[in-house]
Structure 1
Amino acid sequence: MIQAADIREWRNHDVTDPDGHKIGVLEAVYVDTSTDEPAMATILTGLPTRRRLVFVPLDRAIVGPGYLKVAYIKTTVRKSPAIGTDSVLPAEDEQAIFEHYGMPYQPGANGERQLARR
């Protein structure tokens, strides 16, 4: 498992898919609030005039020299739910991210968010 302290060092490095295609640049890491382990990352994608942040799970991610390789192909990641570069992920939108990747969504017992930005 990638440690939260380690992955923060990779901010602004390239994020690639399993085939080595560049998806974008690592912008932030989101941890699972129940374990405090890295769970998702946001990747800065798009043209300079139309930038957005897309979400990708960090399960099976591999850290290399100057890059982070995720387990999902570029087209899947680019179609994931996104937020603006100055936006915050609304709590009600978390579930859609998990559903996009076929992952179970498990908020806290009292409805707490599953993801927290670090």
Structure 2
Amino acid sequence: MIEAEDIREWRGHPVLDQRGRRIGPLEALYVDTRTDAPAFATVTVGLPTRRRLVFVPLEGATVGPGYLKVHYPRGQVRGAPSIDTDGVLAAEQEPAVFAHYELAYETGAAGERRLARP
């Protein structure tokens, strides 16, 4: 698993789907605010003039020499909720990210966000 503090080393490396097909380069990690553990990654996808960042869970991901392999098919990842390459994930968008992968979503006890960039 990628550690949050190692993101500078992994940024730009290929993210592969469960079958080894390239999805796009790794852009950033998001940690779960309850555990501070890396929970999601953003991957750059799209045409050069219309790039966007899609979210993919890191649960079940494996690290290989120079790549990150996620547990989801490329089509599902590319169809995931996205933000602009210079955008920020709004708190109200978080439930849609989890729902896309059929993952349970819960805010903190005081309603705080679930995902944050380290």
Q: Structure 1 counterpart of 2:11, which letter? A: R
Please give the per-residue CA displacement for 1:67-116, whole angstroms capped at 9, x wherever unaligned.
00000000000010000001100100000000000000011111100000
The corresponding residue for 1:29 is 29
Does residue 75 of the first structure (1) align with residue 75 of the second (2)?
Answer: yes
Alignment of 1:33-112 (within 5 A): 33-112=33-112
Distance 1:11 1:98, change over 3 A: same
TM normalised by structure 1 equals 0.95
Task: Give unmatched runs, 5+ long, in structure 2.
Answer: none
Measured after TM superposition, the shift of residue 52 of structure 1 is 0.2
- Secondary structure at 2:93 match in 1: helix
C-alpha displacement of 1:6:
3.6
4+ aligned runs moved over 3 Å, structure 1: none
Distance 1:8 1:105, change over 3 A: farther
Root-mean-square deviation (Å): 1.1
Shift of 1:18: 1.1
Between Structure 1 and Structure 2, how many residues are aligned?
118
Find the residue that maps to 1:99 and give its secondary structure: helix
CA distance in 2, matches of 1:87, 1:70: 23
**What SS is found at the alignment partner of 2:19?**
coil
**Structure 2 length-normalised TM:** 0.95
**Match in the other structure for 1:5:** 5
Gaps of 5+ in 1: none
Are the counterparts in 2 of residues 8 and 29 from structure 1 also a CA contact under 8 Å? no
Q: Secondary structure at the match of 2:5?
A: helix
- 1:41-75 CA distance string (max 9 Å, x none): 00001110010000000001001111000000000
CA separation in 2, counterparts of 1:21 and 1:110? Answer: 40
Find the aligned partners of 1:7 and 1:34 in 2 and give their Cα distance. Answer: 20
